[in-house]
Structure 1
Amino acid sequence: MTIQQTSDGSLTVNKIDRTNLGGLSNIPSEALQGLSEESITCLRNLASFQAPTASDLGLVKQAAVLVALFQKEGDDKLHVLLTTRAKTMRRHPSQTALPGGKVDPEDPDVIHTARREAFEEVGLSLDHLSIHHITILEPVMTILPLNSHIKNHIVVTPVVCFISSPSILSNLTPSPDEVDAIFTHPLKGCITGILDDKDLKGLVDIGGEWWPHEEEFHSTNDRVGTTGIYRMHRFRTTNSPIKGLTSDVLIQTAMVAYDKPTEYSRFALNQSPFSTLISNVVTDLPLHIDNPIINPGPVEWGSIDGERYKSSETWAANS
């Protein structure tokens, strides 16, 4: 739908042209009413994305996350639903996450996994008519620090949906055992590395606990983990920063949605694509899954100048 101003100053509303919706043609017209052209274009690009053929991941752990997109009232772009993991969680406590979790044997597909986990974590309805499946994106993989066991890698499949009635988000309730906070962030910021004026309200303080960086919105550093060099992206938010795997998922989502590359340098020099890293782990895991860490010790990241620094992910050594 587009809104145009006539010569007499009145506004006219043009209905959505359903012949130009691509993969969104299965979504009812009323669900798309009120969306900006930018939002419709983003959703159409995502819906037109050719979902990858699922490959055999062998013994590698698998998970799925839900990228739930919606247009905020009074805004003209898409935002994404996020959580801050509970500080009591064994893995990645107090870090930003997309609703999601491991694939259970009884799950029929990754769509079910992502939706089930979103229901368990924040109470997002499993069958609400305003939640529309859009697509499945290419999988990404957790990047682990040095001295981590190969079996702790997890391949994560992003499942994208569109929420046409954002009012349902006001009824979400965090599961106290898993989630400390629920918040949102503009998807566009994950491709530009900046935020619009209307998105500045409520951002955490620069130099504070959640954003101890000099950069205003987007910070990076290159590090070395078990699979080689990796560029860690961090995005400042109204809560915990988006970083690591969550940033990798949202960068990919934004690139597909806006059909363009990031406005910053996405990869470190000689960083391998996730498809290569996943293939390598699938091949190597059977050879090492029963082997303990030979020299257990502090879990550390490497730096490009050869230094090492301690990682907070102590679980990764040999869990």
Structure 2
Amino acid sequence: MTLTSQPDQTHSPVEVKSKTVDAMGSTGLGHIRPEALEGLSAESMMCLENFARYQTEPVADYGKVRQAAVLVALFQKEGDDKLHVLLTTRAKTLRRHPSQTALPGGKVDPEDPDVVHTARREAYEEVNLPLDHPDIHHLAILEPVMTILPLNALMRNHIIVTPVVCFISSPSLLEGLSPNPDEVDAIFTYPLKGCLTGTLNGEDAVGLSEAGEEWWPHEEEYHSTHDRIGATGGYRMHRFRTTRTPIKGLTSDVLVQTAMVAYGRSTSFDRYAPNQELFPVLIADIVRQLPEWLEKESLNAGSSKEVKVVEWGGTEGERYKCTETWATA
């Protein structure tokens, strides 16, 4: 559903950390008024309950690594029986990742009290999703992921991103959304389950971007992968076909993780490239090593005028130019 358009190898089964369920069988959704859950399918209720039971570790100290938060806003469409997620197409004028699919979100500002506020504030600024509304219900804070950089990119470009999940109980609320033209070209949605199965059915498979054209040049019908070598080693890029630009990169990493938590199982496809490290390991390594890298980058800044080519490595030893813009000096 387009809302507006303006100017594995799975290393292990999904780990869903559960909160204690009391003797009354509480699902953890007690903060949501009962009428807001009326009309939800059994599948959607299961997903919400899984989010409510999910529990992350206490917020870590990420040192000098930049931090951001994204909002995974879920809702059940009228006449449907599953959850969909709110997405945007980034403005063509943006310096980083123009015209790519994204979740509402951005960097954590010093004055933000927590990542929930960051994600909600950014969603308000980008698509006018209200900061405070009785039909928007917080569900969970998920395990952080991290941007995967190509070879030769400066290590300071790494960003740790925390997904914040909420449920919109009144889909009519989405009718009032509008894209901020400085940041967003369009607002659209995608079925969350598609990021678990790699397939689409029925109405979800209607109106997708044209196969063989710019937005979907891949042979696969709905889900494509590409293994590559980046600054932190092996990485499997996932791409999901949508009605606009594909879900890929960090956004796909967030939504694959979100779908696994929601449905309580692993993906139907191989999630990781061979020897790809899990995000908690990568994040710990970057947090530990970044101070040393920053010092080296500072020392080299005045001694070298060389502009390095930003490339990805191939699994057979080949190199190919990165299409993204990343600082090398």
- Where does residue 161 of structure 1 map in the other structure? 166
The question of 1:230 aligning with 2:229 is answered no
More displaced 10-residue stretch of structure 1: 59-68 or 86-95: 86-95
- Where does residue 129 of structure 1 map in the other structure? 134
- Where does residue 286 of structure 1 map in the other structure? 291
Contact 1:204 1:239 in 2 (8 A): yes
Mapping 1:150-229, distance limit 5 Å: 150-229=155-234
Mapping 1:7-156, distance limit 5 Å: 20=25, 22-156=27-161
SS in 1 for 2:122: helix
Distance in 2 of aligned mates of 1:88 and 1:72: 31
Shift of 1:312: 1.4
- Where does residue 317 of structure 2 map in the other structure? 306
Q: TM-score, normalised by structure 2?
A: 0.89
Q: How many residues matched?
A: 300
Shift of 1:50: 0.9
Q: Runs of 5+ in structure 1 lacking a partner?
A: 1-18
Contact 2:154 2:326 in 1 (8 A): no
Distance in 2 of aligned mates of 1:202 and 1:52: 40
Distance in 1 of aligned mates of 2:283 and 2:150: 16
Distance in 1 of aligned mates of 2:135 and 2:325: 41
Distance in 1 of aligned mates of 2:92 and 2:310: 20
- Where does residue 261 of structure 1 map in the other structure? 266
Q: Runs of 5+ in structure 2 lacking a partner?
A: 1-23
State the AA in 1 paired with 2:321.
K
Distance in 2 of aligned mates of 1:42 and 1:146: 37
Structure scoring higher RCO (CA < 8 A, sep ≥ 6) equals: 2
SS in 2 for 1:287: helix
Contact 1:52 1:137 in 2 (8 A): no
Shift of 1:288: 1.4
Contact 1:144 1:316 in 2 (8 A): no
Distance in 2 of aligned mates of 1:317 and 1:23: 46
Q: Where do 4+ consecutive residues of structure 1 move more than 4 Å?
A: 292-295
Q: Deviations over 1:143-202 (max 9, x none)?
A: 000000000000000000000001111111101010011000000000000011121121
